[in-house]
Amino acid sequence: MPHTLFQTIKKDGGLNEALLVYNNYVIEGNTRLCCLKKLSKEDEKWKAVPCEVIIDEISSLQINRLLIDKHVTGKNEWSAYDKSLLYYRLKHEDNYSVKDIAELGHESPTKVYQRIAAIELYKESKCSDIKKYSHFEQFISNNEINKIVKDDPKIQEAAVSQILNGKIPTAQDIRSIPTICRDKDSKKRFIRGDEPITEIVLDLEQQKKLQNKVLINVVRDLSEKIQKLNEEDIQCLKNNNSDKAQINKLLKDLVKLAEYADIKLPGKLQTK
C-alpha cells in the first residue's frame, strides 16, 4: 500500500476525490479504498466513504474509456506501471486488440505493445517491486537490446535476474547493455551475473581510456619520427610507390581521427 497516499488521506481527514462505483464494485479508486480500510481499523469514522455511483447501465468499453480518459489522458495521470497494467487487462481479459487500445489511450500501437510486453515480462519474472517496472519497460523498448536478445536469449535471462537481485540498480543502467554486449569479455561477465552492471561499465570506460592513451602514444611516436626524417629518407619515400600508398592510407585514417576528435580541418583534407 502506498505509504504516501495513506498518510495524505489521514492528514487531510478524508478523500480529495470520491471513489467511482458501478454495480456495487469500485471501478476506480481501489488503492484509496485499501487505505480507508486500514484507517477504519483505527477509527470508525473512516467507514463512511464518499462515492460517485453510476446508476445507468454501461458497457465494459464505456468503463474502460472512462478509466482511460480519467487516468491516461486526463489530469489524474497514472504511473507507467498502472497504464501498462490497464493495457494488459484490456488485451488479456477483455480481448482488445493493440490497435483498439492505442486508439483508446491516444498512444501509438508500438508504445502500447511495448507497455504490454513489459508488464508481461514483469509478471513472468514474479517481480513484486512496482518501482522496478520501469527497468522492464526500458528493456523492452530498446530496439538494440531486442536485436541482441533475438540472437542470444541469455541476455534477457541475465537482465531479468539482475533487475530482481539489484545488480541493475536503475532503469537507466539498462541502456548500458548494448555497449556491454559489444565487448566479448564484458558480455560474459554480464551473463555470469556475479557483479553489478555499473562495475562492468566502469571497467569498459577505463579500458577505452587506456586504448585511447595507447593510440595517442602511437601518434606521438609517429610525429617524432616524421620530424627526424632527413633528406635521404624523404627522397626514398618519393621514389617508392608502395610507401606512397601506405602514407596515403595513413593520411586518410589520420583525417578520420582528427574528425573524431572534433578538430577543424582545411577543406581539402576533409573526408567526403
- Please list the pLDDT of the chain residue by residue as tens digits (272 residues): 456 788 888 888 888 888 889 988 888 887 888 888 989 998 888 888 889 899 888 888 788 777 777 766 655 667 889 889 889 989 998 899 999 999 888 889 999 999 999 999 999 999 989 899 999 999 999 999 999 999 999 999 999 999 999 999 999 999 999 999 999 999 999 999 999 999 999 999 888 877 777 788 888 888 888 998 898 888 888 889 998 899 989 888 888 888 888 888 776 665 55
> Residues 6 or more apart from 111 whose CB is under 8 A from it?
102
104 burial via Cβ count (<10 Å: 0-12, 13-18, 19+):
buried
| pLDDT value of position 77 | 64
Which residue type occupies 209? K
Residue 1 is predicted with a pLDDT of 44
DSSP letters of 63-119?
HHHHHHHHHTSSSSPPPHHHHHHHHHHHHHTS---HHHHHHHHTS-HHHHHHHHHHH
Alpha carbons 175 and 142: distance in angstroms, whole number: 8
In the block, cell 497504464 appears at 83
